Amino acid sequence: MQDTAAPVPQTGRPVLILASSSRYRRELLERLRIPFETAVPAIDETPQPGETPEATALRLAEAKARAVAAALPAGAGRALVIGSDQVATFDGHQIGKPGTHERALEQLRAMRGREVLFHSALSLLDTATGQTDTVDVVTKVRFRDLPDAALDAYLRAEQPYDCAGSAKSEGLGIVLLEAIESDDPTALIGLPLIALTRMLLAAGYPLLAPQEAQP
């Protein structure tokens, strides 16, 4: 397991682990001002034949959490492992990360003037019980009908080639969007924090514990 955040202090609280290599999810989790570690889950993220976008996102979110939990050393103590996955879809087709400028432009052309659903699945695994709390947060996004030149200019400015759907709503990509409908505003960025904080509180994690007095 590779740590990319500050070491977790030994305070009696369970260790919190983000099972993701995504810098976007790491930055979102940092908003909660709680100590956590990150680990990259080694899983195959290929959708299964006939699998719905919702089912893909839910399966992969839980699989990421379980893969990281399984790699923890024996006697590591209780940990809460966060797995998350996002699948974008319209017309019943899954939209993955484009990877290249050409594929990103093709995605944006296909989606302009259309409504796209983003399934942001979240899974919290408690290593003390082996149980998971898993949910799919759906965000509806309507894209503006913009010309090719505008789409190309956006892609060259922001280069969102590691984002499903090729549009980063937290950045310049907001210009491409006409409307966003969601009960969890950070879900579209990659980590639904309202759902996550509910799960952590239900697991007994002290999100708003009093700060220890400094000597």
Q: Is 85 a catalytic residue?
A: yes
DSSP-assigned beta bridge partners for residue 16:
80
Quote the CA–CA distance of 60 and 193 in Å, as a whole number: 18
DSSP category for residue 213: P
- In this structure, are strands 15-19 and 79-90 parallel, antiparallel, or unpaired? parallel
What SS3 state is found at 14?
coil
- Reduced to 3 states (helix: H, G, I; strand: E, B; else coil), residue 127 is coil
Please pick, among 44, 85, 145, 148, the residue that the annotation labels catalytic: 85
Transcribe 161-215 into DSSP letters: TTSTTS--TTTGGGGGEEEEE-SSTTTTTT--HHHHHHHHHHTT--TTPPPPPP-
Cα–Cα distances in angstroms (integers) from residue 191 to residues 11, 78, 135, in the given order: 25, 22, 12
The partner residues of 58 in beta bridges, in order of sequence, read none
Residues noted as catalytic: 85
